[in-house]
Amino acid sequence: MSRDPYRIWILSGLPGVLTGAMEEGILRIAQEKGLARVQVINLRDHTDDRHRTIDDAPYGGGPGMILMVEPVIRALRALPEADGNREVFLLSPRGETLVQKRVEELSKLDELVLICGRYKGVDERIRTYITGELSLGDYVLSGGELAAAVIADAIVRLLPDVLGCYDSALGDSFTSGLLDSSYYTRPEVFDGLSVPPVLLSGHHGKVEKWRRMDSLQRTLIHRPDLLEGSELTPEDQAHLRKLGWEPIERCDT
């Protein structure tokens, strides 16, 4: 039994920023396959003044402009009635930082609405109408459009049958809690740099073991913080200790 397309609505004051992302790569493929539908809603279409205004100066004074509540909530109310489990998120610096586990949870929804923050901030009353808030990290973008494209891509690629090889997604960095291993393709030698012989051996067991050990080493070097939250086998731990890893000792209280 086929499931209905995963629905994503992106509410934005600058929909043109999102045009290219929706028409290329995985987002395009998913929509062509009928597995996802991504629709960008122009907040300016939900205004009633001739300038199509969506921002205004803050009450009480201060620098910058504020995204107005009225066009955002009008746009929300104009969406079709939810056909399944729908959640609404504001993209803002104070939101929870998006990680792969959260992306996997969001991919289990039926529908997702992303409100792109912009300007100095948003009218606080917008937060009355949302499920939660999301952020890509501790840095500032000019608006939520680029973040919305990232989130849509991260979710859609996890939907069944979107990727040609779903196992590829299962092995991605962060999916297992670790960074992914190194990969190589043709030619076997380039500028004196050779592919590790084990990858040419044809021995699947040895290849998988090499990739696991390489994944652990890359994680230790580049993101050692991820190791503390990962499920490590005794073999994993022994390999890491050879590389100089010292697990953090936790005291039960």
Residue with tokens 């209905």: 4
Q: Is 137 annotated as a binding residue?
A: yes
Q: Is 138 annotated as a binding residue?
A: yes
Cα separation of 39 and 75, whole Å? 12
Q: Is 184 annotated as a binding residue?
A: no
Q: Is 139 annotated as a binding residue?
A: yes
Q: Is 202 annotated as a binding residue?
A: no
Retrieve residue 75's tokens: 């746009």
Instruction: Give the type of residue at 54.
Output: I
* Sheet with 111-116, side-by-side order of all strands: 36-42, 6-12, 111-116, 86-97, 132-135
Q: Show binding-site residues.
A: 117, 136-141
Q: Show binding-site residues for S-adenosyl-L-methionine.
A: 117, 136-141
